[in-house]
Amino acid sequence: MSVEAKKPLSSALITLMAIAIGIIVANLYYLQPLLHQISKNFHVGSARASLLMTFIQTGYALGLAFVVPLGDIWPRRRLAVSIFALAALTMGVAAMLTSFTLLGAVTLVIGLSSVGGQVLVPLAVDLAEPAQRGRVIARVMTGLLLGILLSRTASGLVAQAAGWRTVYWAAAALLAVMAVVLHRVLPNEPAREHVAYRKLVAGVFSLFVTQRQLRRRAYFGAVIFACNSALWTTLSFLLAGEPFHYSNAVIGLFGLFGVAGVLAANAAGRQADRQRTHASTIVFSLLLLVSFVILALGRNTVILLALGIMVLDTGMQGMQITNQSVIYSLLPGERSRLNSAYMVSAFAGASVGSYLAGQLYAHFGWYGDCWLGGILGVALLIPALAWRSPKPGTPAISEVVAEQ
């Protein structure tokens, strides 16, 4: 039996939702340290293997655009459970495939079904008492960041011990268990006013026409996610080859350097509260550009590679929080659609970045990948210097969160 909707949101339920969000968002990142092993298993080159990252990110963007809006029509308990069940099924199917073409098709569906977290976050916000909403958002988003941070490491360790297919089997089991748990503990919701699905989806994209700051921040989001993909899509190929010859387990451990991004997110939030989003945008853009210079210099030096990863994740997460602080201040009554519009752009950029990184790495190696990142960094920095953020007086991010 489900929890009553009018019952206060308990600490245990918040923690459970945070864990669930982390488990399902991890589906997007298990692949990154495994690409070199999958490449060998299916006898395909690095460019073709990298397409899997393009497929999963494209699927996620499609899910953000066309699945997440269903949360305004269907009860979110039923929608979330259905998404987790579909994700478990597709991960299990992927673990059994012997055709790379079929794996690519299923990977697209894995991305599509990994949007469950984007259904649970607004549900948690709606269930929370107004006075605790800021803390609830912080806790559930911590689950998302930890899912991203730990997925690469867990994937590498499990693959080293039992092969890449075991990673998929383990993820499928976790998702299936979580689908059952969510079915039992998530509350039912009162009936909401019906809105036509077509109108919901159209409303997301119409915001690009009316909101200049959304267009600008969506551009920044697309480029920073492309930068992130440029690194992580090809890093496993570099670390598995000359001169490192690292195992899956060691490659996965490189994901832990992303903890710098969590710290940067907190710093960016404080700067946004102080109305310093323009300065933050410039600083984080510069860090992303510098990170690829360090990564290029670190072609044969693990310490520089680690430093480059930390600088890139700092710029990436800092810019992400800065972007969100701006877009959430635009239309308080339409934050779900603003977020959907922004995230669709971000993962479209991630998909393009993965494709270009795979192609350039196949033809020019690690330096080609770093040139791509450098060009993207310049494409960030120039608009960051030229475009002004909203004038002081725009609500601070802490005020925005408190209102939700």
52-106 pLDDT tens trace: 999 999 999 999 999 888 887 788 899 999 999 999 999 999 999 999 999 999 9
| Runs of H (alpha helix) within 163-256 | 164-185, 197-210, 212-240, 248-253
The residue ranges of every structural domain in the chain are 1-187, 201-404
pTM, two decimal places = 0.82
Q: Is 141 helix (H, G, I), strand (E, B) or coil?
A: helix
Closest CA to 83 of 186, 4, 3, 157: 186
pLDDT in tens, 315-337: 988 888 788 778 877 876 676 67
Look at residue 172 in the predicted model and tell me its pLDDT: 98
> CATH topology for 201-404?
Growth Hormone; Chain: A; (1.20.1250)
Residue 259 CA, chain-centre distance (Å), reads 15
Neighbours of 162 (CB within 10 A): 12
Q: Give the residue, 257 or 389, on which the prediction is more confident.
A: 257
Look at residue 4 in the predicted model and tell me its pLDDT: 43
User: Domain 1-187, what architecture?
Assistant: Up-down Bundle (1.20)
Closest CA to 286 of 374, 388, 387: 374
β-partners of residue 394 are 392
Look at residue 267 in the predicted model and tell me its pLDDT: 65
Residue 18 CA to residue 140 CA, distance in Å, equals 4
Look at residue 168 in the predicted model and tell me its pLDDT: 98
Same fold, 1-187 and 201-404: yes
Predicted confidence (pLDDT) at residue 181 exceeds the cutoff of 80: yes
Predicted confidence (pLDDT) at residue 275 exceeds the cutoff of 90: no
Confidence of residue 389 (pLDDT cuts 50, 70, 90): low
